[in-house]
Structure 1
Amino acid sequence: MRKLIVSAAAAALLASGSIAFAAVKHTTGTVKTYDGTAMSLVLDDGSTFTLPKTFKDPGLKAGEKVRVSWDMSGKNKVAESVKIEK
């Protein structure tokens, strides 16, 4: 019985840890380059994001302050949303 409880507790701990790693991250910065053809966005700090095919350009241009919500896909930062900051 004790082994079952310990195993269940360990499984719950591992499951909750993997959920925490799946959380979306947020970055704010200034647009350095935006390429709608290559679906890429680079901020002035060097952060590079791949944009999804469904991305709708809110009017991005160099010098625009933005907030990027993103997640990792392999070694790439994939933007889930990009919003212009005022």
Structure 2
Amino acid sequence: MSRELERVVRRWRELPADHALAASPAVREVVQDLADATAGRPVPELGPAVLIDQLRVLVWDAASAGVPELADRLADLRRTLP
């Protein structure tokens, strides 16, 4: 899981700003799904610059909570990034 998370983060950091903005809804969906699975609270929309940090935190929360198929979900997300 941690390896796949780092792959997503690395890919996100390589994206030009316009591509990151276009990919934000997909990342945001995963972030909110993970929040729903762990804390059950809405995650504030703070923009693409902070979104990947929100993902990192929520992935670790989800891993601690035992959310299944986390690595697969991250791999799917990474494949959607332009």
Shorter-chain TM-score category?
Answer: under 0.3
User: Greater strand share, 1 or 2?
Assistant: 1
TM-score by length of 2: 0.23
TM-score by length of 1: 0.23
